[in-house]
Amino acid sequence: MKSTSNDKVLAVKAADLSKQTAQSDNLPRVTGVDSPNYWMGRVMGEAGKVSGAHHHGEAETAGYILSGTTRIYYGEGYKEYVDLEKGDFLYVPPFIPHIEETLSETEPVVFITSRTKGNIVVNLDVKDTSVFSKKYDDLIVVRANELNVAKDQTENVARLTALDTPNLWKGQVVIAPGKDSGAHHHGEAQSGGYILSGQLRIYYGENYEEFVDLESGDFFNVPPNVQHIEKNMSDTEPVVFVTSRHPGNVVINLNN
């Protein structure tokens, strides 16, 4: 869904995700957040299928494996690869040609993906060797057990860093049962999130009188400098979500 306001938190429900975005063979994508310089959505690798060769132009890409197992081929002749499973994170630099294979014949792989610049997809002829005539930056893989405590924290909100590149941060956030974050914003950073579990309410507006409610499978978008408070609506279960920010994990805590 296209974000059309610079001062409102946008909620996109799981049932409302748009298929109107760039696609590749055997790799359907749906959009959760679509702002002028940031895209976040869900990507599914079909069971037992291999995607077409493609790259993402000048966009930097960060992915989180929601479910399933996948193999990403890259390098000259697509001879190098990395394998990923649930909970892993992946960074794909700009322009790097790659192919994605779902390793299970019965279960699709599902990514929660973020990109700078938008959902740029350039589909390639797999036989075109000219794409290997230049050197590309390396992929970065962070396993589920390798997340680090983020430098910038907010009360009652635990942030874990997976990927921290110059223009894109992606990690996991946990809010304790019955707690709220206190007021904060993310400066110039564009923020998007995907709810893994729990029930989250985000308050915003001049006096925090407006709010959106989110649950598992929903996306949200917090524009730059928008002051907000995140509240876990359950007294017994934590809220867990995957978040990414462009250009980085800017956190400015405010006095309530």
Could you read off the pLDDT of 202-250 as tens digits, one per residue? 999 999 999 999 999 999 999 999 999 999 999 999 999 999 999 999 9
**CA–CA gap between residue 232 and residue 177 (Å, rounded):** 6
**CA–CA distance from 14 to each of 42, 83, 173, 237 (Å)?**
10, 27, 19, 21
Fold agreement between 16-144 and 146-253: yes
Segment 30-39 shows an average pLDDT of 91
**Average pLDDT of the chain, as a whole number:** 94
CA–centroid distance for 89 within its chain: 9
**CA–CA gap between residue 176 and residue 16 (Å, rounded):** 28
Could you read off the pLDDT of 143-174 as tens digits, one per residue? 999 999 987 788 899 999 999 999 999 999 99
Homologous superfamily in CATH for domain 146-253 = Jelly Rolls (2.60.120.10)
Provide the CATH number for the domain formed by 16-144 in this structure.
Answer: 2.60.120.10
Q: Return the domain boundaries, the chain.
A: 16-144, 146-253
For tokens 């059309």, the residue is 4
Residue 41 has pLDDT above 60, yes or no: yes
**Nearest CA to 90 among 22, 43, 46, 30?**
43
What's the token pair of residue 74?
């890259």
Residue 26 has pLDDT above 90, yes or no: no
In terms of DSSP bridges, do strands 38-45 and 109-116 run parallel, antiparallel, or are they unpaired?
antiparallel
For the entire predicted model, the pTM comes to: 0.94
65 and 88 Cβ atoms separated by less than 8 Å: yes
Q: Is the peptide bond before 224 cis (omega within 30 degrees of 0)?
A: no
CA–centroid distance for 131 within its chain: 27
Q: Tell me, what amino acid is at 135?
A: K
What's the token pair of residue 188?
């110039």
Query: Residue 42: its pLDDT value, please?
Result: 97
Could you read off the pLDDT of 64-106 as tens digits, one per residue? 999 999 999 999 999 999 999 999 999 999 999 999 999 999 9
**CA–CA gap between residue 222 and residue 121 (Å, rounded):** 24
Burial of 207 (0-12, 13-18, 19+ CB in 10 A): exposed
